[in-house]
Homo-oligomer: A and B are copies of this chain.
Amino acid sequence: MGASARQGGAILWFTGLSGSGKSTLAAAVGARLTPAVPVEILDGDEIRKQLSADLGYTKEARDTNIRRIGFVARLLARHGVFVIAAAISPYAATRHEVRLLARDEGIPFLEVFLSARLETLVQRDTKGLYKRALAGELLHFTGVSDPYEAPTHPDGIILTDDESVEVSTQKALALLAQYGLVKIPVGDAL
């Protein structure tokens, strides 16, 4: 699997519910791109810990966290880093705002929606958070007791229910190639 660096950076933004595969796919795609491409993964939970530990889970707080991830992503992309953001990012308008700010700087931005059926999400959820949320025990759990505005026209959609991480990774890489963000050898893409 080869990948060659482009001069400027870019932002690949994975949005989707908890359990949809954002962190897993970010790690897998990142591993394919390095070391040819400098990659940094901005994981929603990790960034919240580092930059937004004081924030809660209201709409305003979630939006602030997403804006902060966007700010850091742009800083890195400006220096040629390929940034993969893996954050629920539930609000469409906020994702759009982050995209526009990137575009304003000439930074390519791909919004990719990771989707999975609720039963899949519940199955993957080893902490039982979905079950508790579905039972009404958790407030502000995105997709159950808090809104998730699925993208209406994302740059890509990957349905992660029934396919392996490897297949999803190939699809993500094919998407990057399609948008001219990385070059991958013919035959490796699906």
Q: Which residues of A contact B (CB under 8 A)?
A: 38, 40, 50-51, 53-55, 64, 67-68, 71-72, 75-76, 78-81
Contacts and interface: CB of A to CB of B under 8 A. Distances in A.
A53 B52 CA distance: 11
A64 B72 CA distance: 16
Copies of this chain present: 2
Contacts of A55: 54
Contact of A75 (B64, B76, B80): B76
19 contacts: A38-B79, A40-B75, A40-B79, A50-B67, A50-B68, A50-B71, A51-B68, A51-B71, A51-B72, A53-B64, A54-B54, A72-B72, A72-B75, A75-B75, A75-B76, A76-B79, A79-B79, A79-B80, A79-B81
A168 to B, nearest CB: 26
Nearest to A49: B71
A64 B71 contact: no
Contacts of A72: 51, 72, 75
Contacts of A76: 75-76, 79
Given A40-B78, A54-B55, 17 more contacts: A38-B79, A38-B80, A50-B68, A50-B71, A51-B51, A51-B68, A51-B71, A53-B64, A54-B54, A54-B64, A72-B72, A75-B75, A75-B76, A76-B76, A79-B79, A79-B80, A79-B81
Contacts of A40: 75, 78-79
Contacts of A78: 40
A140 B64 CA distance: 26
A61 to B, nearest CB: 9
Q: Counting chain B CB atoms within 10 Å of each CB, which of A40, A54, A79 scores highest?
A: A79
